[in-house]
């Protein structure tokens, strides 16, 4: 495709140049007293127009010189000026107005001296020269208008791009403001409550040990969960306040599974494929999917065993969490914000999510995340 784009200017200029070369060559061949040098000069003066966009001054110089040579030897009439007119138009369009004016003046002056279109008793020479002058002026004016129009279009595109950047910057500022607002709300509404839970659980564990009593596993799980919740909340607030902050990924999967086991939930992990660094958004989404799936198992399936499977593929990461609970395949699905959040994460990455009861009992969550990141 890029190769065709590079060839487009040559096609736009090359085809007209070839057509003009054929036309003038035919005229030369049917004109008496012409020979191979005239044909060669016509071909050189016309085919050089194929590069008039990339090298307008070269095309102008070669075309003017060649066609002057032909005009000095053979009286072809006004058609001999066509290649020079095209070269003048290209030169003015490229901003070389002085060179174009000089070439046009030289060509017209030389043509007048050598009787370019052919003299006759009725003043045909003066009329032909006047006609050529009009053509050259028209070519210069048309090229100037085209150049100004192109400059206007480029300026309009630049203004549109600048306006788009301004809108994007405004959207980013609004997103930053909303992110900071959410961070403040989370801090004000959750930090205090989680801190109280953590402190009370710690006090209860301390008193039980001080009295020589066995600390209930559930109380230890509450203490650990509150500590982890505070750490997760702090990490979330850091991400909200600083977009470039670190986020939880599969490198913390072991901690997540340990917390699940400490809460009384048997959990196993199976990893297949070659482990490697993942795109940040995929890594974070995989961690959050496992976290939400384990939370749902603990909440809805009690002490059901959970199996976490992570599969590293060539083009996608497969995350699957199964449990052996008593989910009924025939029961209607119960909507929840957890599954909705997982689906939104997966959809944003262009992946697929399946969350449904298994035919033999239990529930499965399977996410297929493209390793290319966001689509």
pLDDT at 160: 84
**Where are the strands (E) in the chain, listed by range?**
267-272, 306-312, 316-323, 352-357, 363-370
Q: What is the distance of C-alpha 117 from the center of its chain?
A: 57
Helix axes 97-113, 56-73, angle to 10 degrees: 0
Phi/psi region, residue 275 (left: phi>0; alpha: psi -120 to 50; beta: rest), is beta
pLDDT at 40: 87
Q: pLDDT-based confidence at 322, cuts 50/70/90?
A: very high
Domain boundaries, the chain: 1-118, 176-241, 250-370
Q: Do the beta carbons of residue 109 and residue 81 sit within 8 Å?
A: no
Q: What is the CATH number of domain 250-370?
A: 3.30.565.10
pLDDT, greater one: 316 or 140: 316
**pLDDT (tens digit, 9 = 90+) per residue, 147-204?**
888 888 888 888 888 788 778 777 877 877 787 788 777 776 777 777 778 788 888 8
Residue from 46, 50, 48 nearest 76 by CA: 46
Average pLDDT over residues 328-350: 72
pLDDT at 317: 94
- For residue 119, pLDDT over 50 is answered with no
pLDDT at 351: 92
pLDDT at 76: 67
- For residue 120, pLDDT over 80 is answered with no
Tell me the pLDDT of the chain averaged across its residues: 80
**pLDDT (tens digit, 9 = 90+) per residue, 222-253?**
877 877 777 777 767 766 766 544 567 898 89
Q: Do the beta carbons of residue 78 and residue 132 sit within 8 Å?
A: yes
- For residue 121, pLDDT over 50 is answered with no
- For residue 92, pLDDT over 80 is answered with yes
pLDDT at 242: 60
**pLDDT (tens digit, 9 = 90+) per residue, 3-39?**
555 656 666 777 888 888 888 888 888 877 777 888 8
- For residue 280, pLDDT over 80 is answered with yes
- Distance CA(2)–CA(4), nearest Å, equals 5
- For residue 107, pLDDT over 70 is answered with yes
What are the beta bridge partners of residue 268?
A: 307
**pLDDT (tens digit, 9 = 90+) per residue, 294-312?**
888 877 777 788 999 999 9
Q: Name the pTM for this structure.
A: 0.43
**pLDDT (tens digit, 9 = 90+) per residue, 264-278?**
788 999 999 999 999
Grouping H, G, I as helix, E, B as strand and the rest as coil, residue 277 is coil
Average pLDDT over residues 206-227: 82
Helical segments of 114-252, H only: 124-186, 192-210, 217-241
pLDDT at 37: 84
Residue from 179, 186, 195, 260 nearest 230 by CA: 195
């Amino acid at each position: 495709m890029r190769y065709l784009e590079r060839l487009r200017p040559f096609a736009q200029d090359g085809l007209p140049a070839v057509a003009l070369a054929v036309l003038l060559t035919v005229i030369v061949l049917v004109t008496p007293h012409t020979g191979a040098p005239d044909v060669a000069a016509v071909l050189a003066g016309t085919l050089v127009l194929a590069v008039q966009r990339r090298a307008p001054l070269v095309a102008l110089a070669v075309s003017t010189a060649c066609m002057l040579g032909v005009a000095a030897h053979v009286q072809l009439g006004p058609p001999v000026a066509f290649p020079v007119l095209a070269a003048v138009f290209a030169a003015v369009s490229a901003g070389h107005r002085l060179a174009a004016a000089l070439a046009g003046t030289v060509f017209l002056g030389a043509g007048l001296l050598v009787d370019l279109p052919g003299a006759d008793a009725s003043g045909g020479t003066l009329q032909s020269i006047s006609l050529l002058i009009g053509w050259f002026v028209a070519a210069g004016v048309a090229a100037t208008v085209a150049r100004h129009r192109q400059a206007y279009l480029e300026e309009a595109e630049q203004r549109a791009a600048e306006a788009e950047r301004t809108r994007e910057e405004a959207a980013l500022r609004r997103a930053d403001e909303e992110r900071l607002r959410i961070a403040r709300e989370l801090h004000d509404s959750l930090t205090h409550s989680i801190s109280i839970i953590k402190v009370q659980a710690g006090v209860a564990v301390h008193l039980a040990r001080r009295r020589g009593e066995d600390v209930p596993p559930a109380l230890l799980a509450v203490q650990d969960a509150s500590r982890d919740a505070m750490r997760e909340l702090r990490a979330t607030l850091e991400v909200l306040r600083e977009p470039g902050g670190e986020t939880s990924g599969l490198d913390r999967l072991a901690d997540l599974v340990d917390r699940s086991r400490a809460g009384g939930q048997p959990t196993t992990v199976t990893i297949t494929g070659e482990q490697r660094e993942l795109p940040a958004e995929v890594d974070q989404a995989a961690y959050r999917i496992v976290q939400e799936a384990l939370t749902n198992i603990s909440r809805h399936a009690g002490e059901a065993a959970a199996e976490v499977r992570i599969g590293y593929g060539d083009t996608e990461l497969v995350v699957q969490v199964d449990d052996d609970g008593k989910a009924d395949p025939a029961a209607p699905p119960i909507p929840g914000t957890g599954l909705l959040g997982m689906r939104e994460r997966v959809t944003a990455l262009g992946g697929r999510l399946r969350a449904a009861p298994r035919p033999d009992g239990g529930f499965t969550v399977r996410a297929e995340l493209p390793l290319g990141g966001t689509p």
